[in-house]
Structure 1
């Protein structure tokens, strides 16, 4: 027997095949017929050889295909791998198709969930804005209470400043400036030389007073009257022997008056007050509200009070 490439039947039956067919029983011929039909099924499953190839023998089947073929030869039909308990189910889709379906489902899910994310973010932002608004209102209320408690001591002075702020003027007869003149300016510019002190106050009000440090070389154009009122070792406003590091000039006069650090600090504190209220009158103070302006005025009054009591910085 030449079993051939299949291993079931000879590729070329011998001459005595008809004798065998005659003497074989009917059951054996039925078995041979079944095997012959299985052989045809096997040949239909085998890949065809490439044209022009030297090997005409078919390529071997995979293990799964061989098991299916031999099971079919034995009369047992094995179910395909995508069927369960003999019931055929849907064949699994290819990988590319399943990937596209998965991507499509994810994008659709994202599209469905995106409005919910947007609503959640908007809700969080609204809650944050509401919380900040409450904090702002609370801080504003605390600031108002603190301001009211601070102004409780001298509310009349604050009201006078507000009235002066509505119509600012440099006239000393107005209630706001008159009180400051009586309590701070006059006591701060009161010196032993009353005539020179009055001239200094007038120059401060007219913004014509100048203060400069004393140079190492003596000034040649200083008049004798200026020297008589003071010198580098004598204060012209107090008449005391002090080391005078600064001198003042009143208006267009060419006279220079030497002053001590104590007198200089009192004059500069008054000049700072007049400079600030002059800025308010001219409308140059725009970054501050009424309360801030009032407290700045109170700070300048504090400096004048310290200066008239003799507290001044050593470096001055």
Structure 2
């Protein structure tokens, strides 16, 4: 899903989101000159509402509150030590997770409850796999998706929704 500041027009000016040259982790706004004869914008330019973009930048720059408010609650499990190591692995992009053909009830290493654990993971290239439940896997992948999306934004990658 594209954040709400994309494809919104400001009353006074329309801006394009572009990466700053020489700084791979920062973005800046470039004004788009409006032309009454041309109403289409090339795929290289994305309209950005400057107010929403500024709010987004403030939110993005306060990554400590992002982690505390949005990520940590999602990774709150009985086994807090393992959850912390998983978060570190996600940040370093070294977490491995895969489905396993396991039809027996096991103890989920994160919740410490007996459940069907159709997934397993290992962190930091360790040899030891730990089994996790579907619910634990869904929460971990939500965090992975969020942090990956934010990495893409910081590096200037953009996803375009095809509007046909």
- Aligned residue in 2 for 1:179: 65
Report if the CA contact (8 A) 2:98-2:121 is conserved: yes
Report if the CA contact (8 A) 1:246-1:259 is conserved: yes
CA offsets, 1:129-169, max 9 Å, x none? xxxx59x6xxxxxxx9xx79xx7xxx6xx52423577xxxx
- Aligned residue in 2 for 1:278: 151
Gaps spanning 5+ residues in structure 1: where?
1-132, 137-143, 166-173, 218-230, 289-316
- Aligned residue in 1 for 2:100: 214
**How do 1:115-194 residues align onto structure 2 when only pairs under 5 Å count?**
133=36, 158-162=53-57, 174-175=61-62, 177-194=63-80
TM-score between both structures, scaled by the size of structure 1: 0.33
**How do 1:1-316 residues align onto structure 2 when only pairs under 5 Å count?**
133=36, 158-162=53-57, 174-175=61-62, 177-215=63-101, 232-285=105-158, 287=160
Report if the CA contact (8 A) 2:96-2:121 is conserved: yes
Offset of residue 216 of structure 1: 5.1
Offset of residue 283 of structure 1: 2.5
CA offsets, 1:70-118, max 9 Å, x none? xxxxxxxxxxxxxxxxxxxxxxxxxxxxxxxxxxxxxxxxxxxxxxxxx
Whole-angstrom CA distance in 1 between matches of 2:138 and 2:76: 13
Report if the CA contact (8 A) 2:102-2:117 is conserved: no
Offset of residue 278 of structure 1: 1.3
Count of residue correspondences: 118
Report if the CA contact (8 A) 2:77-2:111 is conserved: yes
Whole-angstrom CA distance in 2 between matches of 1:256 and 1:179: 31
TM-score between both structures, scaled by the size of structure 2: 0.61
Higher RCO structure (Cα 8 Å, ≥6 apart): 2
Whole-angstrom CA distance in 2 between matches of 1:216 and 1:191: 22
Report if the CA contact (8 A) 2:105-2:114 is conserved: no
Partner secondary structure for residue 242 of structure 1: strand
Gaps spanning 5+ residues in structure 2: where?
1-35, 40-46
Greater strand proportion: 2
Partner secondary structure for residue 248 of structure 1: strand
- Aligned residue in 2 for 1:128: none
Whole-angstrom CA distance in 1 between matches of 2:95 and 2:70: 19
